[in-house]
Amino acid sequence: MRSAPLLRLLATRVVLAALSLLVVSVVIFWCVEMLPGDTAQRMLGRDATPEALARLRAELGLDRPAAERYGLWLAATLWGDLGQSMVADRPVADWVAGRAANTLTLAGFALAIYIPLALALGLLSAAFRGRPLDQAISVAVLLGMCVPEFVTGLLLVSVFAITLDLFPPLALIDQAQDLGDLLHILFLPALTLAIAMTAYAVRMMRDNLIEVLESPYVRLATLKGLPRRQVLLRHALPNALGPAVNVTALNIAWLIGGIVVVETVFNFPGIGRLLIDAISVKDVPVVQAVALLLTALYILTNLLADIVVIVLNPRLRAGA
């Protein structure tokens, strides 16, 4: 019987997520409508005749009312048809899928750096709290929280690509011959994303670890003579990971938007770079598809985080 209220709460969250996506689709459509410039004019050039422009607008459906075009776009999107690129003359779904695969590769590499880095810095900061190491980590975390990711990326390029010549300044993954080359090319953009995410996670983990280390059961484990490493890893860390998991979910949601900036800095052929290029030429179907996809991923990430919190938190389950 207790599962029924929980299922209703979960269903409510799913419905709200779907409604949010619908509202965002309207916002995306009208924002694209307000972009300056004329797609037909850009495709045909400045010397195009009025007759040619009118003919192309009719072929692209740009002569129809905006509300009608929104309805047609939404219906086609629900059926999985993202349309045809106006500039590249190729299916939007195929184009977006290839770029999305590149972005997922970069995001996965960034998360692979972020998770152990956040755990290590959080443990060291809590274990040596008040000491020079803790203060140094706190300063680094504060800088990571304040400095925008594009500035971090440019600094990494200046140091590791230009000065030290250890990594390439541009993430041209088409030049990768094997997995080692791919990781070498993606290291700087992945590290840029990982630094931005790690700053928030370390701050949260440090505070929670310090609180757990002061708890009676951890003090009892210390009084029993257990090694400091065992106390930290087996008794304190598992009980301090809850808030860090929530921060990780928020970081993944941020990653969806932050990766657009990083891909632009490193000229990475991902979905964020595709969005910027499509906006510059006002390729309406591509802009709408990418913006809607990024929004859907953001909403889905927050929805999954809410579901995990509800399922794992007894108080929320009881309140349902």
Q: How much is the mean pLDDT over the chain?
A: 79
- Say whether 84 sits in a helix, a strand or coil: strand
pLDDT by residue (tens digit) across 153-208? 899 999 999 998 899 988 888 888 888 888 989 999 999 988 888 877 787 777 77
Q: How many domains does the chain have?
A: 1
Q: Which domain holds residue 152?
A: 93-282
What residue type is assigned to position 100 of the chain?
A
Residue 189 in any domain: the answer is yes
Residue 316 in any domain: the answer is no
Residue 137 in any domain: the answer is yes
Whether residue 313 has pLDDT greater than 70:
no
Q: What is the rounded average pLDDT of the residues 207-225?
A: 69
Residue 276 in any domain: the answer is yes
Residue 292 in any domain: the answer is no
Residue 290 in any domain: the answer is no
Q: Is the dihedral of CA 136, 137, 138, 140 positive or negative?
A: positive
User: What residues have CB less than 8 Å from 176, skipping those under 6 apart?
Assistant: 182, 184, 185
The confidence band for 290, taking pLDDT boundaries of 50, 70 and 90, is: confident
CATH number of the domain bearing residue 165:
1.10.3720.10
Spatial distance between the Cα atoms of 219 and 176, rounded to a whole number of angstroms? 51
Residue 269 in any domain: the answer is yes
Spatial distance between the Cα atoms of 296 and 182, rounded to a whole number of angstroms? 28
Model pTM? Answer: 0.75
Residue 146 in any domain: the answer is yes
